Structure 1
Amino acid sequence: MTAHFDTEKATAAAWFRRLRDDIVAAFEGLEDSHDTGPLSDQAPGRFDVSETKRQSDDGSDAGGGLMSVMRGGRVFEKVGVNISTVFGTLGERAQAAMMARKGLSGMKEDPRFWASGISLVAHMQNPHVPAVHMNTRMFWTPHAWWFGGGSDLNPCIEYDEDTAHFHATQKQHLDPHGAAHYPRLKEWADEYFFVPHRGRARGVGGIFMDDHCTQDWQADLSLTQDIGRAFLPAYVPLVEKRRVQEWSDADKEAQLVHRGLYAEYNLVYDRGTKFGLETGHDANAVLMSLPPLAKWI
């Protein structure tokens, strides 16, 4: 299975890189636009790009990626678009979690893994522009492979028409793969992005899947690609519409409090954060999702 999947791994990793490049270009284009609202007199933001490294327990190279972060832009207060391709052996806790979740046997005898993906989180200057999260990924072990990912909208000031557009665009991209996908992935997102100790969702939902494997690798990759392709048309029109709005001190207060909810979820519940920290990936890249400022009341 290892040799058979070398081509598939390379294909998936290259796709995540292309998606990253498209999103970075689109976001810098938003920064360059003239109608950027209350902060239009600032210089346009740009991404700072740095390499990330993962080291195995014995100190050997175990892959890495690119961390692209923009801070203090006219539109984006902080946004990160990270890609990584990492490999090595899973520790005992990760093995146990994977065996419990997927029912895999043989993990202890051969705990190798390979994973590649893109992860994006955007926190905005204007409280009327929603924060957003997106990721897609492929995971491989000698025992199984699968895809995961999705995107969800996290406004602090909700607009029903924005929520409707975001969801309709996701559905439009999923429907060619089967009408059952959108309602299933929407329900999954509603459950996954729920914050139990607050008794509420962290946003207005989106789509999410994990452990997706139909045994048709090309079909599963195609579905994952369309989840990624849906992101820019689902999100950019919302940024273009809301970035010109004036905001009040009360609006900014609501944004900071909502960011506290976002931080709580990512630090306590998010599976990707836990996996990244437990498997030795660059901590700055893993914690890129945290907002630049937040507030608790």
Structure 2
Amino acid sequence: MTEDLAPERARAADWFRRLRDQIVAAFEELEDTHADGPFADQAPGRFEVTETHRAAPDGGDAGGGLMSVMRGGRVFEKVGVNVSTVYGTLGERAQAAMAARKGIPGMTSDPRFWASGISLVAHMQNPHVPAVHMNTRMFWTPHAWWFGGGSDLNPCIEYDEDTAHFHATQQAHLDPHGTDHYPRLKAWADEYFYVPHRGRARGVGGIFMDDQCSGDWEADFALTQDIGRAFLPAFVPLVEKRRGQSFTEADKDTQLVHRGLYAEYNLVYDRGTKFGLETGHDANAVLMSLPPLAKWV
């Protein structure tokens, strides 16, 4: 059995909440400073914040969080930044999946869990601005603990220099923890964010990790924090560069079709979506990642 890690869990949950606050503030600033180009004549968007709750099977409290969603802004057509801390007992299906995928013994004898994290998905007004996803999380059971997360860029119109900036920023944040981390996490993202039934990647990649448990909690937490810290400097400059570009109806159509690919991946393959729904978390929060409009051809 692993340690309780109660103080460490509290630190992780606090970090995810503070990262959420920084991102929400930065995104609202992007709305305020968009003065020229498409959608600039609209009112700047603001996040609507809703408390979320996870009900235990017996009806008791099992944690929750904040769902922050902005719709119809100048820059963001729909963006959600969710943070949550949930706990309780894993159901039989989740126990089996955990034991099978992670090789954790004893889940059926003591299926308690605790999980905290931040999850973000942004769908943009301008098709030249890439959609983006980011999450970081900590998971604890009496048998094991680990961190996970990453971020990946999902442009419908690709720019090589944007992709290079996104990846270089992430590598700069990961290299101080060991130069092996970036290539390993980049390859993991390439594998994880692949859409088998379409035979292609969801976007232009990024970094991804799961099951990060080196045995040194402080080192793993520091790595996870820098994955989170890399997000704004990797993404915000791309928004500032592209948000004022003009676009055509064909560009918008390309964006809607790409969003269909994104929705397919999240509903069919994404582990976070499956875990959230199977453990009874707020369905609106779990499905926040879905785009406001999409198209299939």
Please indicate, yes or no, whether the TM-score normalized by the shorter chain is above 0.5: yes
- The one-letter code sitting in structure 2 at the alignment partner of 1:218 is E
Distance (whole Å) between structure 2 residues aligned to residue 82 and residue 229 of structure 1 = 16
Q: Report the identity percentage.
A: 83
Distance (whole Å) between structure 2 residues aligned to residue 98 and residue 225 of structure 1 = 24
Distance (whole Å) between structure 1 residues aligned to residue 206 and residue 37 of structure 2 = 27
After TM superposition, the structure 1 = structure 2 runs for residues 1-297 of structure 1, keeping only pairs within 5 Å, are: 4-297=4-297
Shift of 1:34: 4.0
Give per-residue Cα distances to partners, 1:10-60, cap 9 Å, x unaligned. 000000000000000000000000435211110000000010000011111
Distance (whole Å) between structure 1 residues aligned to residue 260 and residue 58 of structure 2 = 37
Distance (whole Å) between structure 2 residues aligned to residue 2 and residue 171 of structure 1 = 31
Give per-residue Cα distances to partners, 1:108-128, cap 9 Å, x unaligned. 110000000000000000000
CA RMSD of aligned residues (A): 0.9
Shift of 1:189: 0.1
- Note closer, same or farther for the CA distance 1:36–1:109 as it changes in structure 2 (3 Å cut): farther
- The one-letter code sitting in structure 1 at the alignment partner of 2:183 is P
The count of aligned residue pairs is 297
Secondary structure at 2:110's aligned position in 1?
coil
Unaligned 5+ runs, structure 2? none
Contact 1:36 1:74 in 2 (8 A): no
- Note closer, same or farther for the CA distance 1:181–1:36 as it changes in structure 2 (3 Å cut): farther
Distance (whole Å) between structure 1 residues aligned to residue 214 and residue 86 of structure 2 = 23
Distance (whole Å) between structure 1 residues aligned to residue 238 and residue 62 of structure 2 = 38
Shift of 1:140: 0.1
Secondary structure at 2:246's aligned position in 1?
coil
Distance (whole Å) between structure 2 residues aligned to residue 244 and residue 41 of structure 1 = 12
Shift of 1:2: 7.4
Shift of 1:4: 4.1
- The one-letter code sitting in structure 2 at the alignment partner of 1:56 is A
Shift of 1:174: 0.2
Contact 2:34 2:40 in 1 (8 A): yes
- Note closer, same or farther for the CA distance 1:252–1:286 as it changes in structure 2 (3 Å cut): same
- The one-letter code sitting in structure 2 at the alignment partner of 1:57 is P
Distance (whole Å) between structure 2 residues aligned to residue 174 and residue 47 of structure 1 = 30
Q: Which deviates the most, 188-197 or 32-41?
A: 32-41
Distance (whole Å) between structure 2 residues aligned to residue 102 and residue 259 of structure 1 = 31
Q: Scaled by the length of structure 1, what TM-score is found?
A: 0.99
Q: Scaled by the length of structure 2, what TM-score is found?
A: 0.99
Distance (whole Å) between structure 2 residues aligned to residue 37 and residue 279 of structure 1 = 43
Secondary structure at 1:240's aligned position in 2?
helix
Distance (whole Å) between structure 2 residues aligned to residue 80 and residue 40 of structure 1 = 21
